Amino acid sequence: MIKLILGKNNLFHIMDKITLKKINIQGKSVEYIFDVNRNLEKYFKTKVFFIQYEQELGDLPLSVLTIPFVNCMAGLSWLSGAMLFVDEIDENYYYSLKHIKSAYSELHRTKLNGVFVPSRLVKNVIKQSDECLLLFGGGVDCHSSYLRNREHISGVVNIYGWLDSIEQNNKIDEFDKKNTAIFAELFGISSYHIRSNFASQFNLSEIDKAYCTQLSTSYWYGFLHSMAFLSIATPLAWAKGISNIMIASSFTKGRANVHCGSYITTDSEYKFGTNGKTIHDGFELNRQEKVKILVDYQRVTNKPYIIQACSFNDHNCCECEKCFRTIIELVAENADPRDFGFEIEGSIKEHWKRIVFRDVGLWGISKENYYYNLSKLRMKENHDNINDKEFVDWFLNFDFNKAKKEGLRRYYRENFFSILKRKLKF
């Protein structure tokens, strides 16, 4: 936000500011003490951003350790037009951030402002390696990336960013750590779990209301999550001498109207040190093709291959749209969802017929039709080979758009007074 324009021969813009005051390193934890001016205070719940690693990071250059702070604050700086101040920053990252900003501007089709002001640039050297660290959340995308690239992946990294304090216990955080470790042990690679408040430090609803509604996205989805994951993994990669960070694609080449910050045009611009880079993997594959990679691998091993479709949950609930989407993709490949961690007793058709009737009104079906159509094509192509034809035939003939409209009407009828009370409260 421009506060004042002065000057006889020059224009001096006094802008909102985000300033990194100090970095405290305490064992395995890093604290970023920062300050913001009054106009930006409503967008923060705290002025201490922390990251807790599982191991000592050694003597990392301060200019590398500053990268996570900048990358997490950059989106807000761009949207609000604020200046972002730090003492020093890695030179290659500094120049890559300009390209990242341009990529986000093009992705969201909007002009992004803000100015990044480091006091000095530091040229850091990291040797080029064939090894990768794979960002790992347990879902279809990262599993397919691992199976496709496992000869180069030496470790998987899970990052949880919703803590309020380092001391806080959180069952999802603990489950993610355990789940990642089990997977890594299965394949004989390293497992890394990183805890942080990178998401919970922000008042996300205020940022969304001020800047993101018109962009048809949210700060978490459209800017923060990918920027945070890549940068928070960077000090770990540096400490391990690994120059490649791999992130699995969430979208497919040719997909229109993408508002997600993790995209090939944005992620691929992220660089650090002389050779540090991001590999955005699997962009050429759609989700159904990725599921086939998992199914083919499970058939060869003839052992359960557990995936975690549910976000922010410690199991696959088998009641949400994400679980439903994954199950139809598995069935389309003639796989038994139970072999992949989806515990459903009895008929899969009857289970989902009941859930869909109850909840479809609140599902984002207009968006998810893209995925459903891919599964329908595969079901028709593979119909003769699919055992559960009862479920397949029900799904192929079900009108989800009609069911969604009816479900919304039913939801409003059944919850009229609670909805009215909630609206009047605001």
Alpha carbons 33 and 22: distance in angstroms, whole number: 5
Alpha carbons 325 and 386: distance in angstroms, whole number: 17
Of the listed ranges 66-70, 335-339, 415-419, the one predicted with least confidence? 415-419
- Percentage of residues of the chain with pLDDT beyond 70: 92
Average pLDDT on 415-421 reads 59
Q: What confidence score (pLDDT) does residue 20 get?
A: 98
Query: Which residue is associated with the tokens 């120049």?
Result: 95
Average pLDDT on 381-392 reads 96
Q: What confidence score (pLDDT) does residue 14 get?
A: 61
Q: What b/e string do you get for 47-74 counting C-beta neighbours within 10 Å, with b at 16 or more?
A: eebbbbbeeebeebbebbbbbbbbbbbb
Residue type, 249: S
Cβ pair 74, 89 in contact under 8 A: no
Alpha carbons 370 and 110: distance in angstroms, whole number: 25
Average pLDDT on 242-261 reads 90
Q: How long a stretch of residues is the chain?
A: 426
Of the listed ranges 57-66, 197-206, 410-419, the one predicted with least confidence? 410-419
pLDDT band for position 417 (50/70/90)?
low
Backbone angles phi and psi of 229, in degrees to 5 = -60, -50
Query: Which residue is associated with the tokens 């609206």?
Result: 423
Cβ pair 72, 198 in contact under 8 A: yes
Bridging pattern class, strands 17-26 and 83-90: parallel
Instruction: Write down the pTM of the prediction.
Output: 0.90
User: At a CB cut-off of 8 Å and minimum separation 6, what does 359 contact?
Assistant: 319, 321, 407
Query: Which residue is associated with the tokens 């009047």?
Result: 424
Interval 90-137: pLDDT, tens: 999 999 999 999 999 999 999 999 999 999 999 999 999 899 999 999
pLDDT band for position 413 (50/70/90)?
confident
Alpha carbons 51 and 271: distance in angstroms, whole number: 20
Alpha carbons 304 and 299: distance in angstroms, whole number: 9
pLDDT band for position 256 (50/70/90)?
confident
Average pLDDT on 358-386 reads 85
Alpha carbons 18 and 117: distance in angstroms, whole number: 10
Interval 124-168: pLDDT, tens: 999 998 999 999 999 999 999 999 999 999 999 999 999 999 999
Q: Is 5 exposed, middle or buried (0-12, 13-18, 19+ CB in 10 A)?
A: exposed
- Long-range contacts of the stretch 32-38 (C-beta < 8 A, 24+): 32/68, 32/69, 34/69, 34/73, 36/82
For residue 213, pLDDT beyond 50? yes
